[in-house]
Amino acid sequence: MSIEDEAPQGLFIGGAWTDAAATFKVTDPATGEVVAEVADATGPDAVRALDAAAGAQATWAATAPRTRAEILRRAFELMTERAESLARLATVEMGRPLAESRAEVAYAADFLRWFAEEAVRIGGDHRVAPTGDYRIVTARQPVGPCYLITPWNFPLAMVTRKVAPALAAGCTMVLKPAEATPLSALRLAELLADAGVPDGVFNVIPTLSPAEVTGALLADGRLRKLSFTGSTEVGRRLLAQSAPGVLRTSMELGGNAPFLVLDDADVAAAVEGAMVAKMRNAGQSCVAANRFLVHAAVADEFTEALRERLAALRTGPGLDPGSQVGPLIDAKARDKVGELVADAERRGAKLRLGGRPVPGPGSFYPPTLLTGVPEDAPITQQEIFGPVAAIAAYDDEQSMVAAANATSAGLVAFVYTRDLDRALRVGDALEAGMVGINRGLVSNAAAPFGGIKQSGLGREGGLEGIDEYLEVKYLAIQA
Ligand code: NAD
């Protein structure tokens, strides 16, 4: 039996697997073949899941932090033990090479370990009122039942980045995974139950009707929190929908990362960083380098070295051990990337590598390099979400920073320079929630991940991540 056949395919509600009235198909982007049929939740199914979460809330909140921590630690250990089958499942449903899926599983497991360690450190403080006659004591309490919506590009890590802090804080939850990748989330439900998460605390409802399911939950007064990772467009809509209930919200939205290579950069290191920042997940990452802004003094050297590295990559199915670049998530995504590249060419950019979709089956697009990309081209304004490096050359640091900031997104930026003063000056000036300095990868369970401007609200991971699931309560105590 294949891994995807073994994966659970029902709704997980109140600790039990249940069917839905209909199912929907999950396909392998490398072949276009159907790999599973998953239960398709409706609005009433979502309300049943919230019934379970609301019913479990008080007991889970009252469970000792040490117990919650030990369950999370056990979940980390189980994920580590099951890493290979989880990695294969992620590759089957989202396409990327197995080695990258293994890295995602390790990253996903890290959130379970990190928040196991944080569960026992939820604190408060004590002050004497300025008038001296009473005490101000603060405590932090779980926000209550949460609704978590996740995207397809990291089908496990985007889930544990929310689930682990919510569990650590003492919240119960309903998770709606992306329709392209529900299998990893369903496997996680099985794993969390095995780790000892009580019935009703964690519920999963895959659906092909996200708007209907979400409408039913956001209108329900028992829900206290929405945490969303996905596109800015959907996030904006969900913020408006959350307003009537004055829900707590966390929003991890789209990026448009600039990657600056200054004239004093170590070009070899910059190319190394560019390969990670651009090519992880075939560019299908919110923190993917979207625009390469390179100083004219090093532009030719950087471009040629990057072109060589990209040209050497092998595109192919993720389960094939020789593949270094997998397919894009679906044909629509591949066509969108193709259109952005064609449009950039029409605007005068020069195609230096790739640029033509790989004939089917599967939604493959090859590593591609463009130079002379105009600043107003849609490829520099939108997330490419594909393996396309778009390079533009600049004559000075100031214009590079201005171009980097000329976007409504503010998730991450990267800068390469050998001069620490410059690194700090440019790092301060870049409008982004995260800045990679001489580093192409910033994601880490121990660091606060999140954006400014239209890239979102709140932070996931780090010391900050658990705060998204806690409320501050102030007790005024008469001395
Ligand atoms: P998407 O916004 O289309 O979908 C994300 C999730 O929202 C999915 O689960 C989807 O089913 C759900 N959804 C879609 N329409 C909805 C609606 N009307 N109501 C409720 N839910 C709805 O995004 P995507 O294509 O799955 O993911 C790619 C996007 O996610 C990119 O923009 C990327 O930058 C962003 N992303 C951001 C981060 C981050 O941490 N900032 C991380 C990963 C991905």
* Amino acid at site 257: A
Q: What is the pLDDT of residues 212-256, one digit of tens each?
A: 999 999 999 999 999 999 999 999 999 999 999 999 999 999 999
Mean pLDDT of the chain: 97
ipTM of predicted assembly, 2 dp: 0.96
Say whether 131 sits in a helix, a strand or coil.
coil
Instruction: Over range 161-173, report the average pLDDT.
Output: 99
Instruction: Over range 438-450, report the average pLDDT.
Output: 98
- For 116, half-sphere exposure in the C-beta direction (CA atoms, 13 angstrom radius) is 17
* Amino acid at site 401: V
Q: Which two tokens stand for residue 170?
A: 């003492």
Helix (H) or strand (E) segment spanning residue 393: strand 388-394
Contact residues of ligand 1, CB 6 A cut-off: 149-153, 158, 176, 178-179, 210-211, 214, 229-231, 234, 237, 252-255, 286, 383, 411, 451, 456
Ordered structural domains, the chain, with CATH: 3-254+454-478 (3.40.605.10), 257-408+412-444 (3.40.309.10)
Mutate to test the pocket of ligand 1, among 38, 149, 242 (most ligand atoms within 8 A of CB): 149
Q: What is the pLDDT of residues 262-305, one digit of tens each?
A: 999 999 999 999 999 999 999 999 999 999 999 999 999 999 99
Q: What is the pLDDT of residues 121-150, one digit of tens each?
A: 999 999 999 999 999 999 999 999 999 999
If you measure from the C-alpha of residue 229 to the centroid of ligand 1, how many angstroms do you get, rounded to a whole number? Answer: 5
Q: What is the pLDDT of residues 295-308, one digit of tens each?
A: 999 999 999 999 99
Q: What is the pLDDT of residues 102-119, one digit of tens each?
A: 999 999 999 999 999 999
Among residues 390, 293, 300, the alpha carbon closest in space to that of 341 is found at: 390
DSSP annotation of 347: T
* Amino acid at site 201: V
What percent of the chain is predicted at pLDDT more than 70? 99
No. of H helices and E strands in the chain?
15, 22
- pLDDT for res 3: 66
pTM, two decimal places: 0.98
- pLDDT for res 360: 77
- Catalytic site includes residue 252: yes
Instruction: Over range 48-72, report the average pLDDT.
Output: 98
Q: Which of 93, 252, 397, 468 is catalytic?
A: 252
Question: Does the pLDDT of residue 454 top 70, yes or no?
Answer: yes
Q: What is the pLDDT of residues 176-222, one digit of tens each?
A: 999 999 999 999 999 999 999 999 999 999 999 999 999 999 999 99
